Structure 1
Amino acid sequence: MKRPPLGLMVVEMLPVHHLHLKHVLQTVCTLEATVLRSFGPEGGQVLFTRDTGQAMLSRSGTCILKALRLEYPLARMVVECVWKHSSVTGDGSKTFILLLASLLRMIHTKACKEPDMSHTYNSREAAEAATAQRFADELLTFALEELEDLIALGVAPYGFCVSWEDSTAKTQPAPHSNTHCVQKLLASFFHTRLSHTHCHFISNLTCEVLRHWTFKNDLPSSALHFVNDNFPALHTPVSGFPISCSRLIEGQVIHRDFAVPCPQTEDQPVKAVVFTGYLQPTILSAGEVLKVGCGGQGTEEKSIVEFSAWSEKSLQCIIATLQRLGVSVLLSAVKQSAAVLALAAQAQMCVVECISQDELALFSKLSGTTPVSDCWTIEPLNVSTLTFCRPILLGVHRYVHVAFHDLQKRITVKPCSLVICGAGEGQTDQCACAFQDAIRMLLVTFQPMGRTSTTASNRTYQFHNSTSSHTADHSDRTTYSSSNAFLSQQCVLEPGCVILAGGTFEFLLNHALLQRARCCLVSDGTKMSTPAVSQLLANALLSVPQQIYSHNARHFLQIQTSILSFLPKDSHTFSLLYKQKPSTSLIQAYCTSEFPAADCKLSMHCCRRTDVLSKAFMLDLGLESVSCKYQLLLAVLQCVSSLLRVDMVLHTHTTLHTQSRRPADISWEGSEDEAED
């Protein structure tokens, strides 16, 4: 075999590693042991040290998992799933690992007890893997088809909905109001990411930021989208100060210093223009010739002098045009030449260079002007008016601080920049990441949880009478096709649906799943029965509150008893649902006198909102998003199904040959031979 050509990738195949179910479980349990140290409100900080000696202190599950040096590809696959989920919802990375490990343990136990021996397998491990894969697939199918309905019917009625318009009100929030509930939702989120001392301060600061960036006559979530999309340009990290020094300041902070200092000392309106390219001399027009000598030394020096004079004169024309437009501030995305800086200083213009694209985009959006790419096409529409442009000292860095003139005439927000402080660089970054994750969590919370293409309106619900479960014929089944469209609208969670934190979601869904298992009929033996699927998922859910109250088992029982006390004593929603006569629709079942009266925004609430709020503040459990919990369960079940589909790990070792070779050594014939080899 000939030597590979320059830059050819050579892949060396190493031995194949067959993956068993126990290997998957061991990998996930190792990750679980790592995140459990910081799980829950009582969790602590995790300290990492790098080879450079730099220390990282964090409670964020995503940061902890990404900081691990994982060589095993299966572990990296799990971390990738966690990161993708948390990048959308902003929360749930540690709960993701906890639920994943709990489900895999239960699937492993069932697969070892009931291996699928109906087919021919080489070993018992292969049979257990096939059984586990079947369990995971049926769990995912069950979740995609029925989990949303179970949450809408068995969990959401015991929560309540908060209104985004009320939560962004300018007035001081009253106890048990919507604004206070949003702050409590944020405080519960920050409690698991930051210290208990600062969670309420940061939650109030988050609400204040959203109130400043709320667009009138726009969608409720427009402020959340705007802050999330422009967060790098909207916040400034400052190390060396306590978190309580974090604050809002008017206008925009551009994270660069003046290349040419601003000569003005008093706040007065100024005009600015944004350049995305270089300020360069004009291109010669037809008939203009600039001679560059190629002869002796004197000719070359004369040509250089002529070129410098022509270039300076051309730049002076640009500066003169800017002066006629009244421009005194130049904002540039690139580094300008020394000649441009010198001419700007002579004209008493301040210059800011190397501004990031995010900050320039935000500036253009707030100023209402278009950046200039060609310096010879400047028009009055490209010039923006600023209330002031001055330096600002934040920590040890000096930045440019601008405010926009007559902004209320164009947009209906009051721009502000967020200054996030921290004792060290790691603490500051942790607070900034938690702030942005909280915005993502609110985005998911206030978005309606719609259905996929296989909606409930297209499903066929078949219910058997409980008295004739052994003689199920066609007459015992009923298809709700006429009322399914209305049913779909009622079952979808409304925006802003929240519930008590501290395991309330898991307790209620566990109860709903167990009731679902009791009321369902067992299918044939070719597939896993629906009751078994419901019971498996229900048992796995309890691992979350068990870890939350792991320090006090009695507290776990007290909270569980207190939460389940809201459930009806005589009968449950699902038992009534499956005992309905064929002529009674699902919506009519909820409107009967057998259910408590509803006094919430959700149409099928089984308890009053005041009772729920009183319970929340009495137990001090906080609040959490129902939509985020639902998406977390779907992500975990998808990850389980993907993990158990992996049969083997194929190790490869890639080498890039970069040794130099003479051109004569490489021929078309040799290249073809090497390609064939």
Structure 2
Amino acid sequence: MASAHLMRVVQTVEVLEAVVRRAFGPHGGQVLFTRDTGQAMVSRSGTRILTALRLDNPLARMIVEWVSGHSSRTGDGSKSFILLLASLVRTIDRAACWDLSLSHSSGSDLHCSSARRLAYELLSFSLQLDHLITVRVVPYGQRLAWKDMFTVLPSPVQKLLLAFFHTRLSHNNCIFISGLLCELLSNWTAEDPQPYSALQFLNDTWPALYTPVVGFPVGNSRLLEGQIIHRDFAVPSTPTAQGPVKAVVLTEPLGRFMEAGDVLQIGNKGSISPLGSFTERSLECVLSHLQSLGVSVLLSSVKQSAAVLALAAQAQMGVVECIGQEDLVLFSRLSEATPVSTFWNIRPENVVSLAFCKPILLGAHRYVHVGFPAKDHLRPCSLVVCGAGAGQSEQHALAMQDAIKMLLTTWQPPASEQLENPTHVTAKNTSHHQSGLQGCVLTAGGTFEFLLSRALRQNSVNGQSNVVSWILADSLLCIPRYIYSNKPGSFAQIQATIGKFPEHPVDGTIHLKCERSTQDPGLESAFCKYQLLLAVLQCVSQLFRTDAVIHTSSRLKTISNISCEEGGEAEG
């Protein structure tokens, strides 16, 4: 690694640091972007800010890819990732210079080799972090109890969400959005003490669970019973006087069910009618069969023919066509419907009962609103997210999805999300301590960083990894420094307070209280912090393993490309 490249690494992370620093923390501001089209985007989301940048520097693009990958898994920590990364890179650079001065050596190659070695040792040291955090940090936190969200106000879950949104959204909307998400979670989890499966379901089906509405204040956002299918009726449905609405889900055009030479089975007694060609009369038989099953709504993932729509209108049967895959998957999971692709496969068991199926107007768009019969105390609902512009409504919806990912990570951290390099950390290496981090939260505002920094400094005195413990301990404090940059006295006050805590508390949970503000700082997830630290250490190691950045004016040739070219020349 050349000395110029090491300097370029430092400069690159510091440029990204300067971008996200303005939006960091509970008192951070929003960043305004103007696109080529003239459209303005205002956001506090670190991932959205970083991905909106036009980056020609390959190192910067690599860092942003690391940040995006981490954020997509855990839903949190993109700005902290950049700040901690910049602090670590600077501290490693200083430690490498100090190492050379102690050895009375000089030279850019030795400096780079020392920096690379320190980055490697930091990644290896991460094997000890889960145990260190479990023993020296977790005892100062508290365990989340999902049932408290329904009985205690404000519950720890609500405090966790409120602190999360204070770093992502406008301060005026944080309380409202966190309350709305809590209401959504309470409907879907049904007071389940282990909500991991419900959270996973919400995360997987999120694009179909919310509907953005433009032109209304954020305060108009609300929950609606059932599901919003993001299509309008091609043929209006006739409301039933009483009883459930019966529907069938189709995945092929109805006209393709019967082609020349096919046979059509009608009725339950096995009577078969031969069809020589597709005619209007045969379609009438199809719809008559569906009506005999009580079907009054056809939900189709594809477009139906004009003849089908006309006959459905005559039969007063509603048709919704071209339903998106995401909406169809959610509907199938909630209704337990089995989509059919051929007419002769339609049986009574393919017919699903709905509580209602009616049109709904949200903003300037008409959709289909369906309801499901009550089951297992669950209350399926959809979310309507309003905003003055499309960017604001999408921003709030993405923040809520990221909050669900954060809760998912907090509750049952997947072992596969550990460091991917099997040489250093594997799922087997880390899983034995994850139970200590699962569901643990600490007071927000730098508590995790202060406690872990103190533990690392004591570890550097008593253990053998003196240098790497000191590097990590010093770098971690950059997070609370930025949080309290406008009130330096608060930083020193909290650091001194934590320094007086016993190393191994035995009298139960200790809640940190700070005199800096009367406002409750909220809570943050210990495991999300741990995941962030692992991801940053791996990114640092990757940056320092890079020898140089080579700029080319043409496409690089791979071995396969060269072989193909040589083969082509030989054939010619």
TM-score, length-normalised on structure 2? 0.88
- Structure 1 residue 239, shift from structure 2 partner: 1.4
How far did 1:563 drift? 3.7
Q: Aligned to 2:372, which of 404, 424, 428?
A: 404
Q: Which of 510, 515, 518 in structure 1 is aligned with 2:453?
A: 510
Does the 8 Å CA contact 1:387/1:402 hold for their aligned counterparts?
A: yes
**Alpha-carbon shift at residue 314 of structure 1 (Å):** 2.7
The residue that corresponds to 1:59 in the other structure is: 44
Query: Of 207, 215, 218, which residue of structure 1 is paired with 2:182?
Result: 207
Distance in structure 1 (CA, Å) of the matches to 2:157 and 2:212: 25
- The aligned counterpart of 1:293 is none
Paired residues in the alignment total: 547
Does the CA contact (< 8 Å) of 1:449 and 1:493 recur in 2? no
Correspondence for 2:209 = 234
User: Offset at 1:551?
Assistant: 1.2
SS in 2 for 1:336: coil
Taking a change above 3 Å as real, the CA distance of residues 366 and 548 of structure 1, as seen in their structure-2 partners, is same
1:29 to 7, 11, 14: 14
Kindly state the Cα deviation for residue 107 of structure 1 after the two structures are TM-superposed.
Answer: 1.1
Aligned residue among 407, 415, 419 for 2:380: 415
2:534 pairs with 1:625: no
Q: Is the 8 A contact 1:259 1:352 kept in 2?
A: yes
- How far does the alpha carbon of each residue in 1:137-158 deviate from its partner, in whole angstroms, 9 at most, with x for none? 0001001x21111111111111
Q: Deviations over 1:453-511 (max 9, x none)?
A: 9999999xxxxxxxxxxxxxxxxxxxxxxxxxxx9967841531000111111111111
Letter in 1 for 2:139: P
What SS does the aligned partner of 1:152 have?
A: helix
Which of 348, 360, 366 lines up with 1:380 in the alignment? 348
> Aligned partner of 1:432: which letter?
A
User: For each residue in 1:165-202, what CA deviation from the matched residue of structure 2 results, as whole angstroms up to 9, or x when unmatched?
Assistant: 333x3x4x245xxxx11101100000011122221221
Residue 344 (structure 1) aligns with: 312
Equivalent position amino acid for 1:40 in 2: G
Gaps of 5+ in 1: 1-15, 289-306, 460-486, 522-529, 574-595, 601-606, 657-669
Offset of 1:422 from its aligned partner?
1.3
In the other structure, the counterpart of 2:292 is 324
Q: 1:223 aligns with which of 198, 213, 217?
A: 198
* Correspondence for 2:569: 674
Q: Which runs of 5+ in 2 are unaligned?
A: 265-274, 557-564
Give 1:291's aligned residue.
none
CA deviations 1:310-360 (Å, max 9, x no partner) are: 432332222121111111111110111111111111111111111111111
- Of the candidates 109, 112, 115, which is equivalent to residue 132 of structure 1? 115
How do 1:171-320 residues align onto structure 2 when only pairs under 5 Å count?
Answer: 171=151, 173-174=152-153, 180-214=155-189, 219-264=194-239, 269-281=244-256, 282-285=258-261, 310-320=278-288
Measured in 1, the distance between the counterparts of 2:378 and 2:435 equals 32
Q: Contact between 2:255 and 2:278, CA under 8 Å: does it hold in 1?
A: no
What does 1:264-663 correspond to in 2, within 5 Å? 264=239, 269-281=244-256, 282-285=258-261, 310-405=278-373, 407-408=374-375, 411-447=376-412, 492-521=435-464, 530-565=465-500, 567-568=501-502, 572-573=503-504, 596-600=505-509, 607=510, 611-612=511-512, 620-654=520-554
Tell me whether 1:155 sits opposite 2:140 in the alignment.
no
The SS at the match of 2:213 is strand
- Tell me the SS of whatever aligns to 2:368: strand
SS of structure 1 residue aligned to 2:355:
strand
User: What is the alpha-carbon distance in structure 1 between the residues aligned to residue 263 and residue 148 of structure 2?
Assistant: 68
What secondary structure does 1:71 align onto? Answer: coil
User: Do the aligned partners of 2:437 and 2:526 also contact (CA within 8 Å) in 1?
Assistant: no
Q: What one-letter code is carried by the residue in structure 1 that aligns with 2:282?
A: S
Residue 559 of structure 2 is matched in structure 1 by none
Query: CA offsets per residue over residues 27-81 of structure 1, 9 Å max, x none?
Result: 1111111101101111111111111111111100000000001111111100000
Match of 2:87 among 90, 102, 111: 102
| Counterpart amino acid of residue 146 in structure 1 | Q
The answer to whether the 8 A contact 1:160-1:499 is kept is yes
CA distance in 2 between partners of 1:449 and 1:158 (Å): 23
Amino acid at match of 2:317: M
Change (3 A) 1:488 1:233: closer
Going from structure 1 to structure 2, the CA distance change for 1:455 and 1:552 (only over 3 Å counts) comes to closer
Cα distance in 1 for partners of 2:72, 2:302 equals 31
The equivalent of 1:166 in structure 2 is 148
SS in 2 for 1:648: coil
Does structure 2 retain, via aligned residues, the 8 Å contact 1:89–1:441? yes
- 1:77-107 deviation per Cα after TM superposition (whole angstroms, max 9, x unaligned): 0000000001111110000000000010111
Letter in 2 for 1:544: I
Rg bigger for which structure?
Answer: 1
Are 1:19 and 1:649, in contact at CA under 8 Å, matched by a contact in 2? no
Contact 2:147 2:193 in 1 (8 A): no
Q: 1:165–1:220: 8 Å Cα contact kept in structure 2?
A: no
Corresponding position of 2:128: 146
Secondary structure of residue in 2 paired with 1:598: coil
Which string of whole-angstrom CA distances, capped at 9 and with x for unpartnered residues, describes residues 354-380 of structure 1?
A: 111111111111112201111232111
The secondary structure found in structure 2 opposite 1:164 is coil
Contact 1:455–1:488 (CA<8 Å) still a contact in 2?
A: no
Secondary structure, counterpart of 1:644 in structure 2: helix
- Rate the CA distance shift 1:308–1:253 in 2: closer, same or farther, 3 A: farther
The Cα offsets for residues 634-667 of structure 1, whole Å up to 9 and x where unpaired, read as: 00000000011111223344579xxxxxxxxxxx
Q: Distance in 1 between matches of 2:451 and 2:262?
A: 80
2:24 maps to 39
More divergent stretch after superposition (105-114 vs 366-375): 105-114
2:551 is paired with a residue whose SS is strand
Measure the CA separation in 1 of the matches of 2:89 and 2:433.
34
> How many angstroms apart in 2 are the aligned matches of 1:25 and 1:345?
68
- For residue 76 of structure 1, the aligned residue among 40, 47, 61 is 61
CA distance in structure 1 between the partners assigned to 2:215 and 2:437 by the alignment: 43
The 1-side partners of 2:137 and 2:295 are apart by 60
Identity %: 55
Distance in 1 (CA, whole Å) between partners of 2:499 and 2:176 is 32
Q: 1:541 to 1:27 in 2, by over 3 A?
A: same
Cα distance in 2 for residues equivalent to 1:243 and 1:36: 26
Structure 1 counterpart SS, 2:254: coil
Q: 1:52 to 1:329 in 2, by over 3 A?
A: same
Structure 2: distance between partners of 1:257 and 1:644: 54
Contact 1:506 1:545 in 2 (8 A): yes
Which segment drifts farther, 83-92 or 238-247? 238-247
**TM-score, reference length from structure 1:** 0.75
SS at match of 1:348: coil
Query: For the structure 1 residues 490 and 254, does the alpha-carbon distance in structure 2 shift closer, same or farther, using more than 3 Å as the test?
Result: closer
> How far off its partner does 1:401 sit?
0.4
CA distance in 1, matches of 2:29, 2:244: 50
Once the two structures are TM-superposed, the CA of residue 413 in structure 1 deviates from its matched residue by 1.1
Aligned-partner Cα distance in 2 for 1:342–1:456 = 61
Secondary structure, counterpart of 1:77 in structure 2:
helix
The amino acid that maps onto 1:431 is: H
The verdict on how the C-alpha distance between 1:323 and 1:449 changes in structure 2, with shifts beyond 3 A counting, is: closer
